[in-house]
Amino acid sequence: MALAKPYLDVPGTTIFDAEQSRKGYHLNQFCMSLMKAANRERFKADERAYLDEWAMTEEQKQGVLTRDLNRCIAAGGNIYFLAKIGATDGKSFQYMAASMTGMTQDEYAAMMLAGGRSVEGNRSRSEQAADQKVQGN
């Protein structure tokens, strides 16, 4: 019996729930391995070889290799675990968040300092449909 997931109604949002946790288990364990200096050195020396030691999907490995955090999240990655990749690369969390939005770090910082993203266009699909229905009457 599948659980109802009303949060799937929010466009552009991936919720790290039990299903995502199971899907990303090995990816997230790989990320946690980067907390040890010896593992970071092995990873930086030959990223593909180190990734191949983990029971990750090819999609997850490609997400890591290309540093496509949105791809990693879709493949079950948790941003707090994925932050270990950024730290290994010497990148800030702010840099990583900006890369996920298509903005530069400075653009992202300015947007956040100005109050973040507008709610317009970022509400749930059901709220958008209700608004359109009200406007049509």
At the topology level of CATH, where does 14-91 sit?
A: Protocatechuate 4,5-dioxygenase; Chain A (1.10.700)
Higher pLDDT among residues 109 and 132, named by residue: 109
Residue 131: pLDDT over 70: no
Residue 8: pLDDT over 90: no
How is the chain split into domains, by residue range?
14-91, 103-137
From residue 84, alpha-carbon distances to 57, 106, 115 in Å are 19, 22, 27
In this prediction, residues 97-108 reach a mean pLDDT of: 92
- State the Cα–Cα distance between residues 6 and 129, nearest whole angstrom: 15
Closest CA to 75 of 21, 119, 137: 21
Distance of CA 9 to the CA centre of its chain: 18
Strands (E), the chain: none
Q: What sign results for the dihedral spanned by CA atoms 121, 68, 52, 90?
A: negative
Q: What pLDDT, on the 0 to 100 scale, is given for residue 1?
A: 58
Note the pLDDT tens digit of each residue in 41-83: 999 999 999 999 999 999 999 999 999 999 999 999 999 999 9
From residue 136, alpha-carbon distances to 125, 126, 127, 128 in Å are 16, 15, 14, 12
Residue 31: pLDDT over 70: yes
pTM: predicted TM-score of the whole model, two decimal places: 0.81
